[in-house]
Amino acid sequence: MGGKTIKAGDKVVMWYVSGNRDGSVIENPDNYIIDRPRPRQHMSFGFGIHRCVGNRLAELQLTIIWEEIMKRFPDIQLLEEPKRSYSVFVKGYEDMTVVLPTKL
């Protein structure tokens, strides 16, 4: 794999977060390029016949929930730096302490 030999008993890990950083597939993978050719050709939601059919629904749900949260709590205050989760599967947060103002 990639010019390396994987022997019986070797441990292998799949690093999801590196999938869209493959320089042999994506030119300048670490740069934000607004007019990048084929912008939807990424691995985040799969592609081809394996494309995630829930992709658009998930994006819509997140948009709606954040619109509703911000209507009710427009001044959410972060109290301390968020604690990131360290995972090969997802880039996220373990803890984020905030203060919500009185509900409008």
Q: Is residue 32 part of a domain?
A: yes
Q: Is residue 104 part of a domain?
A: no
Q: Is residue 56 part of a domain?
A: yes
**Eight-state DSSP code of residue 38:** S
Per-residue model confidence (pLDDT) at position 38: 75
Q: Is residue 88 part of a domain?
A: yes
Residue 77: its H or E element: strand 77-78
Q: Is residue 60 part of a domain?
A: yes
**Cα distances (angstroms) measured from residue 15 to each of 1, 12, 74, 95, 101:** 14, 10, 36, 22, 39
Q: Is residue 68 part of a domain?
A: yes
pLDDT tens column, 17-68: 677 777 887 888 878 777 888 766 666 666 555 666 777 788 889 899 989 9
pTM: 0.47
Per-residue model confidence (pLDDT) at position 98: 92
Per-residue model confidence (pLDDT) at position 97: 93
pLDDT tens column, 72-92: 888 889 999 999 888 766 777
